[in-house]
Structure 1
Amino acid sequence: MRHVTVKEVMTWPVISVGENTCFKDIAGILVTHAVSALPVLDDDGHVVGVVSEADLLRKEEFREEFLGERYQPQIPSGQEPGTGKARGMVARQLMSTPAVTVGKDVSVTSACRLMQSRGVKRLPVIDDHGRLAGIVSRCDLMKVFIRSDRDIEREIRENVLMESLWMDTSCVRVTVKDGLVTLSGRMILRSDAQIALWMTRQVNGVVDVVDELVWDRGNTPTGEAC
């Protein structure tokens, strides 16, 4: 069964900066292009980090006027106010590293899980050599849920019921409404029906599956008409 991959939904070309891009230039790019983070590349195009609005705003945390108002920023152990990212002037001093990246052939589902587990809103996409190939955001991953009902129904019929399942599915009916799939009809075994339901849930764009399947309890068909 085919899964949508990151390269099918990612954004390209990508706005990025080099390791020596200065603070003000980074801020200007973020504002001009209305993005909240940028991949940082070395001279060979490899992703070495990500610099975000949060990284730049660290500088504001340590300004004297805030300290004068008794604001107490969280300071990493062993550092004094004004150190670390707060004093960074170029991307390599400001960025978060190593970057959380994803391969372009990884499934959208895997990319979504990686985002959730690492608490990030976007992932730089890299090719087989570790070079920047694109970027994928939460919004990009949502594209799989705006597939047409007709396209989802076709994939379930062709890729799940006809190609992937080694069983008789000629009496199974598929209807899709707003991403909600209903499987109805008859199958030979209960286990066959469970497999069909599980595989349908794996199809990109499926919001949920309604089970209206019935089955014959024996290993042979009952001979009832579809």
Structure 2
Amino acid sequence: MQGSQYTVGDVMTHTVVALAGGAMFKEIVRTMEEWGVSAMPVLDGRGRVVGVVSEADLLCKEELRDSDADLTGRPGASAHPAESAKARAVTAEELMNSPAVTVSPDATLGRAARLMAGHRVKRLPVVDDDGVLTGIVSRSDLLKVFLRGDDDITEEIRREVVGGRFPVPLEAVRVEVHEGVATLTGHVPDTSLVPLAIRLVRSVEGVVDVRCALTGPRRRPLLEPDLVDDTEPLRPMGTRPGTAPGR
């Protein structure tokens, strides 16, 4: 994906374990254990995502087992009604959180990260325009861009940022990337472009930080100071050249 932003579709997992709404409690637990996942999307008959069941939803049954909640439907003082309902649930449809928080395969990784942070979830079902499941993206998937090699990042910065923004030969600006930290050095004719270049470099996938040491021409002051002729000593006001004061 050189020269363009990575999208969710580039890093998502295409093979997804999903549940039907009628999946039973113990079947859900067994499936999570077998596949090593902590949450699964729930699908309707057309493959559309209608909810998500997580380990936290399943644990409500265990958490309230010894509480003062009445699992027949009358929660005690320490039980939240929603938790009590989940503790009584036996199918995926009863357990799931709905509507599900989903993301498009065309979304940027930043968009997916903000959704995860905002909804406090570790993974998102990826759906097409019709809501049909096409994959799943996790926090670890979003971090894959930082596995990108330094040479690959360097080449993109030189081509897309330096070559596209500075009217100088590529050799005039040196780009070095080490462990994802990009350093720009050299001389440019217009330093007003430097802040924009830093932002563009920071947006390159895989860049961890940007260090900039670009220099440019010295700016002259807008107003030139008056030049003083220091070849002749200053005279008191009201005297003529060659006339001594007081004469």
TM-score, normalised to structure 2's length? 0.80
Structure 2 match to 1:117: 118
Q: Secondary structure at the match of 2:86?
A: helix
User: What's the Cα RMSD here?
Assistant: 2.1
Partner of 1:147: 148
Instruction: Give deviations 1:47-92, integer Å, cap 9, x for gaps.
Output: 11110000011011221x4449xxx88533xx39x84111111111
Unaligned runs of 5+ in 1: 220-226
Larger radius of gyration: 2
Q: Name the CA shift for 1:42/1:50 in 2 (closer, same or farther; >3 Å).
A: same
What secondary structure sits across from 2:115 in the alignment? helix
State the identity as a percent.
Answer: 45
Does structure 1 residue 103 correspond to structure 2 residue 129?
no
Aligned residue in 1 for 2:214: 213
User: Displacement, 1:115?
Assistant: 1.1
Answer 1 or 2: higher relative contact order, Cα 8 Å, separation at least 6. 1
**Does the residue aligned with 2:135 lie in a helix, a strand or coil?**
strand
Maintained 8 Å contact 2:53/2:96? yes
* 1:102 counterpart SS class: coil
Give yes or no for contact 2:146–2:207 (8 Å, CA) kept in 1.
yes
* Aligned residue runs from structure 1 range 12-23, under 5 A: 12-23=14-25
Q: Distance in 2 between matches of 1:216 and 1:197?
A: 19
| Cα separation, partners in 2 of 1:139 and 1:158, compared to 1, 3 Å | same
Structure 2 Cα separation of the partners of residues 133 and 25 of structure 1: 23
Q: In the TM superposition, what whole-angstrom CA distance separates every residue of 1:156-214 from its partner, at most 9, and x where no partner exists?
A: 11122224x26446321100111010011112222211111110000010000111111
Q: Does 1:7 align with 2:26?
A: no
